[in-house]
């Protein structure tokens, strides 16, 4: 229950693909590891496998390419999301850039998971880019969304070592379960009313977070040591 409203925090989830992060959230809710309710799953791709993970009544989709431009699609999507009155909007593999108006409308309650240690490797092909750069560590970030791609303030990160001989697929496969744990841990903070963003700064329990939180091997978040 949310301490302020006495009801379960309402999550809207935006998806474009297979939906393994959405599934991690569903599983955490089912196992009582996350005290929240998914009130809608929204997709720019009506064929997205992620949609199948929730009952029909929770699904909303529209083919983004059929709209005149991004602003028109974003406005329709924003109305649909608003209609379910979410406390938090979580982008779980949502692969379209959200425009200024959308971000503004859900300002302070819009989170995204990205498969890199931001600010490194915004955009696509993050695993291959980490390998090409010879990085010894790779990871995932959950951040507040701003109109610039993958540029919002980072709340928390999960790290994995890059092992000799790793391919981009190996890295992606090893990172995914950590990503899932990271997402659940951050959504638990958000749902408990412990997370906020003001003026580009993340606050945890009312205190400004100067470094992203870090996930440990038990799925617990700790104060971060990396900027
Ligand atoms: C995840 O790895 C997520 O971090 C990434 O897409 C994948 C979606 O997987 N998101 C981005 O790249 C956003 N920039 P899923 O559909 O199985 O959750």
- Show me where the domains of the chain are located: 10-119+141-155+176-222
**What number does the ligand 1 atom closest to the CA of 123 have?**
14
CA distance linking residue 110 with residue 143, whole number of Å: 9
Please name the residue whose Cα sits nearest to atom 1 of ligand 1. 93
| Residue among 100, 114, 143, 198 flagged as catalytic | 114
- Is 90 within 8 Å of 155 (Cβ atoms)? no
- Is 94 within 8 Å of 15 (Cβ atoms)? yes
How far, CA to CA in Å, does 133 sit from each of 120, 128, 141? 11, 9, 18
Average pLDDT over residues 100-121: 97
- Is 226 within 8 Å of 214 (Cβ atoms)? yes
Backbone φ, ψ for residue 93 (5° rounding): 75, 40
- Asked if pLDDT for residue 2 goes beyond 80, the answer is no
Q: C-alpha angle 158/7/93, rounded to 5°?
A: 35
pTM attached to this predicted model: 0.96
Tokens 């959308």, residue located: 102
**What number does the ligand 1 atom closest to the CA of 21 have?**
18
At residue 210 the predicted structure's pLDDT band, cuts being 50, 70 and 90, is very high
Backbone φ, ψ for residue 216 (5° rounding): -95, 180
Residue 225 is predicted with a pLDDT of 85
Backbone φ, ψ for residue 6 (5° rounding): 70, 15
CA distance linking residue 185 with residue 111, whole number of Å: 13
Pairing relation of β-strands 137-144 and 110-114?
A: antiparallel
- Asked if pLDDT for residue 217 goes beyond 70, the answer is yes
Q: Where does ligand 1 bind, in terms of residues with CB under 6 Å?
A: 17-21, 50, 92-93, 113-115, 140, 150, 179
* Eight-state DSSP code of residue 148: S
One of 3.40.462.20, 3.40.50.170, 3.30.365.10, 1.10.8.100 is the CATH number of 10-119+141-155+176-222, namely 3.40.50.170
Residue 6 is predicted with a pLDDT of 77
DSSP strands (E only) in 115-181: 137-144, 154-161
3-state secondary structure of 115: coil
At residue 83 the predicted structure's pLDDT band, cuts being 50, 70 and 90, is very high
Q: What's the length of the chain? A: 227
């Amino acid at each position: 229950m949310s301490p302020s409203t006495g009801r379960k925090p309402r999550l809207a989830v935006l998806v474009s693909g297979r939906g393994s992060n959405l599934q991690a959230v569903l599983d955490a809710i089912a196992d009582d590891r996350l005290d929240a309710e998914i009130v809608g799953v929204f997709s720019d791709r009506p064929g997205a496998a992620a949609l199948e993970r929730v009952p029909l009544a929770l699904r909303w989709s529209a083919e983004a390419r059929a709209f005149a431009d991004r602003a028109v699609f974003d406005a329709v999507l924003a109305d649909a999301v608003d209609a379910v009155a979410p406390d938090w909007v979580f982008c779980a593999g949502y692969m379209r850039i959200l425009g200024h108006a959308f971000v503004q409308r859900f300002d302070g309650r819009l989170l995204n998971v990205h498969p890199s240690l931001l600010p490194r490797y915004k955009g696509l092909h993050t695993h291959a880019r980490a390998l090409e750069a010879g990085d010894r560590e790779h990871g995932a970030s959950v951040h507040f969304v701003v109109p610039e791609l993958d540029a919002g303030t980072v709340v928390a990160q999960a790290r994995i070592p890059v092992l000799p001989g790793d391919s981009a697929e190996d890295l992606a496969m090893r990172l995914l379960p950590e990503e899932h744990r990271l997402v659940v841990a951050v959504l638990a903070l958000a749902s408990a009313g412990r997370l906020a963003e003001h003026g580009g700064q993340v606050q945890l329990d009312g205190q400004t977070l100067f470094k992203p939180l870090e996930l440990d091997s038990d799925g617990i978040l700790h104060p971060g040591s990396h900027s």
